[in-house]
């Protein structure tokens, strides 16, 4: 698993993929935080990072599929997957090696945004007037969200040889899970509390819940289940050669 992880990381940083991913994420979140008139924190006047945490899922939704799209699709396209799966290592360790490498890249992209926290904290009046607990919770939420998106991206990459198909599929799946269930639950067709259940199927509900700074084990378990489910589906897709 470690060899695979190392190879993937090397590939990110020996090509432009890694630098572009990090750069794009920082430029976009920086714009949202400090520049765009609708969302910048300076005009808004409150010392919060809410704007960043609201925008980040949508940026990651595009960025993560771009990072994960090649991981299996390219190996299948070039046939190198055949050499990989005939080595003495399990399918799961191949998947986890790639999973952790992609997740690490996202974490590296997110880390510099801690500077935003420090800036807002310093700019606050009085200084330090920021909900630290809320920010910490939101970062944990963002990490779990990224974990789920990476798992979705790997799955999409494992079921096709075409990187563009993998990308589009991953964006679609991520968007559906993040956004669609919350929106659907607003339809006036649900009776009693069934709209609540529909809302809770989506990632958005749980992300918002964690972002409030209250880390509920139910939300954490939800994210871990999503990750486990997509990793398991990736394993099935990889094992499909045996059917």
Partner 1 sequence: MSVKVNSLTKKYGAQHAVDDVSFEARSGEVLGFLGPNGAGKTTTMKILTCFIPQTEGTATVCGYDTAEEPMKVRERIGYLPEHNPLYKDMYVREYLTFVAGLHKLPNKKNRIADMIEMTGLGREQKKQIGALSKGYRQRVGLAQAMLHDPEVLILDEPTSGLDPNQLVDIRALIKEIGKTKTVIFSTHIMQEVQAICDRVLIINRGKLVANDSIDILRQRASGKTTITVQFLEKIGMAQLRNIPDATHIEALSDNQWKITTTKTHDIRPKIFKFAVENGLTLIEMRQDVQSVEDVFQTLTRRET
Nearest to 173 by CA among 207, 209, 203, 205: 203
Written in H, E and C, the secondary structure of 70-90 is HHHHHHHHHCHHHHHHCCCCC
190, 198 contact by CB (below 8 A): yes
Nearer to partner 1, 71 or 209 (CB): 71
Nearer to partner 1, 4 or 151 (CB): 4
Which two tokens mark 138?
A: 């939101």
Q: How far is the CB of 3 from partner 1 (least distance, A)?
A: 3
Q: How far is the CB of 136 from partner 1 (least distance, A)?
A: 36
Q: How far is the CB of 230 from partner 1 (least distance, A)?
A: 24
Q: How far is the CB of 158 from partner 1 (least distance, A)?
A: 16
Nearer to partner 1, 206 or 235 (CB): 235
Interface positions with partner 1 (CB under 8 A): 2-4, 6-7, 10-11, 14-15, 78-80, 82-90, 241-242
Which two tokens mark 5?
A: 């992880």
147, 64 contact by CB (below 8 A): no
Nearer to partner 1, 162 or 208 (CB): 162
Place of tokens 């991520």: 174
């Amino acid at each position: 698993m470690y060899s695979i992880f190392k190879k993937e990381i090397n590939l990110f940083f020996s090509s432009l993929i890694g630098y572009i991913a990090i750069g794009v994420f920082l430029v976009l979140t920086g714009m949202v935080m400090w520049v765009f008139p609708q969302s910048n924190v300076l005009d808004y006047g409150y010392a919060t990072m809410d704007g960043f945490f609201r925008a980040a899922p949508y940026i990651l939704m595009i960025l993560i599929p771009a990072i994960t799209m090649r991981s299996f699709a390219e190996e299948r396209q070039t046939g190198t997957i055949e050499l990989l799966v005939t080595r003495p290592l399990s399918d799961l360790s191949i998947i986890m090696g790639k999973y952790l490498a992609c997740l690490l890249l996202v974490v590296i992209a997110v880390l510099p945004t801690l500077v935003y926290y420090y800036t807002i904290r310093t700019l606050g009046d009085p200084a330090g007037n920021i909900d630290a607990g809320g920010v910490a919770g939101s970062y944990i939420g963002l990490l779990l969200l990224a974990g789920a998106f990476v798992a979705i991206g790997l799955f999409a990459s494992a079921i096709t040889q075409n990187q563009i198909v993998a990308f589009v599929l991953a964006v679609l799946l991520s968007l559906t899970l993040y956004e669609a269930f919350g929106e659907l639950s607003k339809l006036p067709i649900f009776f009693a509390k069934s709209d609540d259940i529909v809302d809770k199927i989506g990632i958005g509900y749980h992300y918002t819940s964690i972002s409030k700074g209250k880390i509920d084990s139910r939300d954490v378990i939800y994210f871990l289940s999503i990750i486990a489910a997509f990793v398991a589906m990736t394993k099935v897709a990889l094992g499909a050669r045996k059917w």
